[in-house]
Amino acid sequence: MTCLFAVFLVFVISSPCLYARITHGKKYIFNVLDYGASGNGKIDDTNAFMAAWKKACGATGDTPTLLIPSGKTFKLQPVRFEGPCKSESVHVKLKGTIIAPRRDDDWKWSNNDRKTWIRFYNIKGLVINGGGVIEGQGDSWWSCKSNRKCDRPIALSIIHCPHLKLVGLTSKNSQRNHFSINHCNGSFISDLRIYAPGNSPNTDGVHISESAHIVIQNSHIQTGDDCVAIITGSSFINVTGVTCGPGHGISIGSLGRNGAYDTVEEVQVTNCTFIKTTNGVRIKTWKGGSGYARKITFQDIILQHVQNPVIITQQYVDYHSKNNHGSSSAVALSDITYKNVGGTSESEEAIQLNCDKNVPCTNVVLERINIISSNGGKIQAACQNAEGTFSSCMPNVPCLV
Ligand SMILES: *[C@@H]1O[C@H](CO)[C@@H](O)[C@H](O)[C@H]1NC(C)=O
Ligand SMILES: *[C@@H]1O[C@H](CO)[C@@H](O)[C@H](O)[C@H]1NC(C)=O
Ligand SMILES: *[C@@H]1O[C@H](CO)[C@@H](O)[C@H](O)[C@H]1NC(C)=O
């Protein structure tokens, strides 16, 4: 009797799981080909993607998946994948290639948001993976150097998607930033491959803003602007195992533009390699801004022919822009550590700590720095208004106060 009851109980408990597992294979996969996508790289597949997304986002149950199959190329006009979705976690499996229309050919802005090509918005537990490719055809936009004039779009923008997982994608030739992550606490970003020419304008690799507890790891970034930029509202950010170059390095900022109050704190950049980049590890804030960047650590950094390996520019001024000369305030910089940074510098001033007279940088710590000249020349550090300590540094940093 007891035994029979136990068997019955086990059956009741396990059967829903069994049911979910059996149905998972088909029921929750929404293949864009089943919704009319052509995948020939020429016909606009936007409507098919929207129809499949609507189903995936509206599906209840276990990880509904929007499937973009391999071996095909899908052309998408500016497109919005929006939540909230019914499921706790929605997957986008990008196995094939998504390609943008060319600006000079058949690009169509469909609404008032002229900032983004592909946008994911307000989706909990979004997982984007699959090893596929996003091709922005940015060369059709780059000749227009002024963003204001031609609305060069961000290739992939992910906004309000907490617990995002973005893994194993390739982005090529983004029109502007490759990936922008905004308001996505608790996200994991890994194994990205990012490619654009070194002279392509504003093609930041990964842009993080207004997000806490983010890991970015094991990625190769070759682009025309910052490989990773950590901007306002970001905290507890780990960047590790990133190879950058060409590019402008890994940057905190810019912060404080046009008098903004901006904050960044608790950032760890570890085990990163810079190859022929303009900067290595950088902090950049604008004259006239306020707020802070603090508790920033750059550790285990390898430099190969880097123009400005270690650089803080606290009072950045753009002489083309009129309105940032007025105020003399500054974004406060403190608790900034450089540990085990080594390799070759293209410039003589391998370490530049340029801080403000009224708001000096405080507690700047340099330990085990070993930077030599790429061409056998002299190497030195330069500081203005930087307070802190150094030990075992080549070059020495006697300009710290
Ligand atoms: C994200 O994290 C920050 C810092 O921990 C917190 O202030 C903010 O409320 C969080 N946002 C959301 C939407 O959870
Ligand atoms: C971030 O890095 C620090 C030090 O490298 C480590 O202690 C911490 O656990 C990391 N956080 C995450 C979420 O990986
Ligand atoms: C450092 O990063 C490289 C990728 O550039 C990775 O292969 C390696 O495992 C990382 N090492 C550690 C100790 O995390």
Q: What is the DSSP letter of 152?
A: P
pLDDT at 397: 96
Using DSSP's 3-state secondary structure scheme, residue 384 falls into strand
Asked if residue 215 belongs to a domain, the reply is: yes
Residue pair 205/243 in contact by the 8 Å Cβ criterion: no
Q: Partners of 251 in the beta sheet?
A: 229, 282
Instruction: In whole angstroms, give the CA distance from residue 265 to residue 46.
Output: 39
Asked if residue 178 belongs to a domain, the reply is: yes
Asked if residue 301 belongs to a domain, the reply is: yes
Asked if residue 93 belongs to a domain, the reply is: no
- Residue nearest atom 9 of ligand 2, based on CA coordinates: 238
Asked if residue 200 belongs to a domain, the reply is: yes
- Residue nearest atom 7 of ligand 3, based on CA coordinates: 241
Q: What is the DSSP letter of 326?
A: S
pLDDT at 318: 74
Q: Phi first, then psi: what are they for 184, rounded to 5°?
A: -130, 75
Give residue 61 CA to ligand 3 midpoint distance, Å. Answer: 37
Q: Is the backbone peptide bond immediately before 254 cis, with ω within 30 degrees of 0? A: yes
Q: Relative to the alpha carbon of 295, which ligand is closest?
A: 2
* Residue of 91, 160, 207, 248 marked catalytic: 248
| Host domain of residue 363 | 106-394
Q: What is the DSSP letter of 316?
A: E
Amino acid, single-letter form, for residue 305: H
pLDDT at 27: 72
Asked if residue 251 belongs to a domain, the reply is: yes
Asked if residue 4 belongs to a domain, the reply is: no
Asked if residue 66 belongs to a domain, the reply is: no
Q: List the one residue out of 245, 377, 223 whose CA is nearest residue 301.
A: 245
**Tens digit of pLDDT at every position of the chain (401 positions):** 444 444 444 444 444 444 444 444 457 999 999 999 999 999 999 999 999 999 999 999 889 999 999 999 999 999 999 999 999 999 999 999 999 999 988 899 877 778 999 999 999 999 999 999 999 999 999 998 776 778 899 999 999 999 999 999 999 999 999 999 999 999 999 999 999 999 999 999 999 999 999 999 999 999 999 999 999 999 999 999 999 999 999 999 999 999 999 999 999 999 999 999 999 999 999 999 999 999 999 999 999 999 999 999 998 887 666 555 566 799 999 999 999 999 999 999 999 999 999 999 999 999 999 999 999 999 999 999 999 999 999 999 999 98
Against a cut of 0.85, is the pTM above it? Answer: yes
Helices (H), 198-287: none
The total domain count for the chain is 1
User: Where residue 275 sits, what CATH number does that domain have?
Assistant: 2.160.20.10
Is 248 one of the catalytic residues? yes
In a mutational test of the pocket of ligand 3, which residue from 190, 217, 271 has the highest number of ligand atoms less than 8 Å from its CB? Answer: 271
- Exposed / middle / buried, residue 16 (Cβ in 10 Å: 0-12, 13-18, 19+): exposed
- Residue nearest atom 12 of ligand 1, based on CA coordinates: 185
pLDDT at 116: 96
